[in-house]
Amino acid sequence: MQDRARATRKILLESAAHLFVERGYAGTSVNDISDHSGKTSGAIYFHYSSKENLALAVVREQFATWPQMLAPYAAPGIPPLEKLVVLSFGIARSLREDVVARAGARLWAERRGIEAAVPTPFDAWALAATRLLAQARARGELAAGVEPSAAAVALVCAFFGICTLTDELPGGRRDWRELLDQWWTLMLNSLQAEPDPAALLARARARTPVQL
Q: Are 188 and 197 in contact (CB under 8 A)?
A: yes
What would the x/- binding string for a second copy be over residues 124 to 163, using CB under 8 A? --xx------------------x---xx-xx-xxxxxxx-
**Helices 51-58 and 2-23 sit at what angle, rounded to 10 degrees?**
90
Q: Are 80 and 139 in contact (CB under 8 A)?
A: yes
Q: From the CB of 42, what's the least distance to a second copy, in Å?
A: 28
Q: From the CB of 164, what's the least distance to a second copy, in Å?
A: 7
179 sits near a second copy (criterion: CB under 8 A): yes
46 sits near a second copy (criterion: CB under 8 A): no
Q: From the CB of 72, what's the least distance to a second copy, in Å?
A: 19
Q: Tell which one of 123, 139, 205, 208 touches a second copy (CB under 8 A).
A: 123
Burial of 61 from C-beta contacts in 10 A (0-12 / 13-18 / 19+): buried
**Helices 99-109 and 51-58 sit at what angle, rounded to 10 degrees?**
120
For a second copy, the closer of residues 4 and 112 by Cβ is 112
Element holding 45 (H helix, E strand) = helix 41-48
Region of 68-76, 84-92, 96-104, 106-114 interacting with a second copy (CB under 8 A): 106-114
CA torsion sign, 119 to 41 to 100 to 5? positive
Report the 10 Å Cβ neighbour count for 45.
14
Q: Which residues bind a second copy (CB under 8 A)?
A: 24, 26-27, 106, 109-110, 112-113, 120, 122-123, 126-127, 146, 150-151, 153-154, 156-162, 164-166, 168-170, 174, 178-179, 182-183, 185-187, 189-191
